[in-house]
Every structure is written in C-alpha cells, then in structure tokens.
Amino acid sequence: MAKPLLLSGLVGLTLLLSCEGALFLVGDTAGWDTSADLATWPEARVFSVGDILSFQYSSYHTVNQVDKNGYNTCNTSNAILTSSGGNTTVPLTSVGDKYFICSNVPHCFGGMKLKVTVISNQTASPPVAASPELSPSTTLPRSSSTTTNANLLPPESNGVDRGGRSHALFISLCFTFGALWWWLMKF
C-alpha cells in the first residue's frame, strides 16, 4: 500500500514542478512598503496567468485586492481579498488589470498601491527576430542597462524567479521514472 502512495506522491511532485508560473516579490527588496516605488515596479515586468505575487510587509500594512474604483479612491469597503499576516501570496488566475492597496489610507494615498496587468499564459514564446519595420532607434523595454546593445538583451529578472523550472522538471521526471522502474523490477 505504501508503494502506490509513494508513487502517487512522486507523480504529484512532478506535476507541481512542471508549473510555468513565476513568483514576483512585490516591491523587490523594499517589499510592500511606503518606501517601495510601487508605481513603476510593474513596468519592467510581464505578469501572466499562473504567476504569483508575493507581498512581504510589516504589521503597519495590509494587502487588499480591490476594483478600479477602490484603487483610485483608496477604499477597501468592497475588497475582493484582505490580508494582514505580513506574508501574502496572490495567484494571478485571470487576465486583466488587478488592483492592490494598503488599507491605511495615508499609506495608500502616499503611493502604497499597485496595479498589474495580467496577460494570457503562453508557455512558448516565439523568438524575437529583427524586422525590416524596426528603425535603428527602436529599443526594447528594459529596467536598467549599461551596455550599448541593451535592445538585444532580454529584460532583467529583478523580483522574479523563472529559472530552473525545466531543469527541476527533468530531474523530477528522472526520479519518478527511476522509482517506477525500481518498483516494477521488485515484482
């Protein structure tokens, strides 16, 4: 009985590791705080369905997901989500604009609010190729750069963990099939 349970657990782990979502630490090292530049933080990032926002904050703050009106007026009376635990993760499950504010009104009006635009999750992105329509002055968006070929580089990944998923999936698949082979060879 324990062997099928172990095998089921290994298959579940494999499926979990195959998820394509990214984890974004809101505000990077400043976290969800008045010191973070939350107005520009989303500009260098692409948010897709399946990604997760991680809010890290002190007891002076809260995370409230609100509609556009609540965002503009710093009003949490119709909040979709309210959290005050200091560590809140929010999965992005649908496309569209998502709005987050701190319920401390002076904090919210002081800039402690966040709007992210979530796009459809596309597991395979087509390669970027030069097109004749692009002029030499066209550059790709980027959070910061010190090289002259910045428009040829991919965006920096500040605050996001996308790396290693395919490697982890490969290792977990090898482990799962190895365990399955060992289990089948015992009988």
Q: What is the pLDDT of residues 87-98, one digit of tens each?
A: 999 999 999 999
What are the tokens at 178? Answer: 């190895």
Percent of the chain that is helix, strand, coil (3-state, to 5) = 30, 20, 50
| Mean predicted confidence (pLDDT) in 113-122 | 91
The reply to whether 59 falls in a domain is yes
- Domain-embedded: residue 164: no
CATH number for the domain harbouring residue 24: 2.60.40.420
Maximal CA-CA distance, the chain: 68
**What is the count of structural domains for the chain?**
1
* pLDDT digits 0-9 by tens, 8-59: 444 444 444 445 689 999 999 999 999 999 999 999 999 999 999 999 999 9
pLDDT grade for 112, boundaries at 50, 70 and 90: very high
CA distance 41 to 55: 13
Q: Is residue 26 part of a domain?
A: yes
- Local structure of 116: helix, strand or coil: strand
Q: What percent of the chain has pLDDT over 70?
A: 54
- Residue 45 falls within a domain, yes or no? yes
Q: Is residue 184 in a domain?
A: no
Percent of the chain with pLDDT over 90: 52
Supply angle C-alpha 19, 20, 26, rounded to 5. 110
Nearest partner of 48 among 69, 19, 72, 70, judged by Cα: 19
Sheet with 96-101: list strands edge to edge: 47-48, 113-119, 96-101, 63-66, 81-83
User: Is 155 among the domain residues?
Assistant: no
Asked if residue 67 has pLDDT above 90, the reply is yes
CA distances from 110 to 5, 92, 102, 104 (A): 52, 25, 10, 10
| Per-residue pLDDT, 20 | 63
* Greater pLDDT, 21 or 71: 71
The model's pTM: 0.58
Mean pLDDT of 126-131: 42
pLDDT confidence tier of residue 60, bands split at 50, 70 and 90? very high
Is position 140 within any domain?
A: no
For residue 113, give its domain range: 15-121
Burial 40-74 (b: 16+ CB within 10 A, else e): ebbebbebbbbbbbbbbbeeebbbbbbeeebbeeb
Within 10 Å of residue 24's Cβ, how many Cβ atoms?
26
Is residue 132 in a domain?
no
| pLDDT for position 126 | 46
